[in-house]
Amino acid sequence: MPDKQQTLVLLKPDALQRDLLGEIIRRFEMKGLKIVGLKFIRLTDEMLDEHYSHLTSKSFFASLKQFMMQTPVVGMVLEGYDAVSEIRKVVGSTNPREADAGTIRADFSMNMPSNLIHASDSPESAAVEIKRFFKDGELFTYEKITDRYIFGEGV
Ligand code: IDP
Ligand code: MG
């Protein structure tokens, strides 16, 4: 049985400005990823220092943080089998020009840091990032009538 996981996604300010929120969420839904958390988040400098701590030494760090604070971001927690790696597949490589055609970053973006989406890169960082942005009461588990078709349960 594959591993049912939850992962953290942020839709970045370029997704909001370019009216791509719906298109991106639609692609996650089409893949069969279940939305278990969804809200606007106004990121702060402190939150970004923590979230992008692996990039503090990079020359683009300050401008990346500035970019991420331009508008609220949409935070999502998505659930599915191997959700962490499956979402990264749908999202595509960090540099949109190196991303495979058909991925969201390749299809809708050109450059960094404006590559539309953050998605956790491992189950361990997903657990930390979900806790960073969502309280327990903001996550919802529920049955969908399509679960058995998407997840293969009881078929
Ligand atoms: P990821 O978002 O695919 O996990 P990371 O290496 O964790 O990639 O980088 C976080 C974010 O930092 C990227 O999504 C992108 O927005 C930004 N970034 C990464 N590399 C560069 C760069 O070389 N120039 C500008 N921004 C970058
Ligand atoms: Mg990353």
What pLDDT is recorded for position 2?
A: 82
- Please report the sign of the dihedral spanned by the C-alpha atoms of residue 93, residue 94, residue 97, residue 101: positive
- Region 38-51: mean pLDDT is 98
Considering the entire predicted model, what is its pTM? 0.96
What pLDDT is recorded for position 58?
A: 98
The residue to mutate among 111, 112, 117, having the most atoms of ligand 1 within 8 angstroms of its beta carbon, is 112
pLDDT tens figures, 18-38: 999 999 999 999 999 999 999
* pLDDT surpasses 80 at 1: no
Domains of the chain, first to last: 4-151 (3.30.70.141)
Model confidence at 152, pLDDT cuts 50, 70, 90, reads: confident
Could you list the beta-strand ranges (E) of the chain.
Answer: 4-11, 34-41, 73-81, 117-119
Closest ligand 1 atom, residue 67 Cα? 16
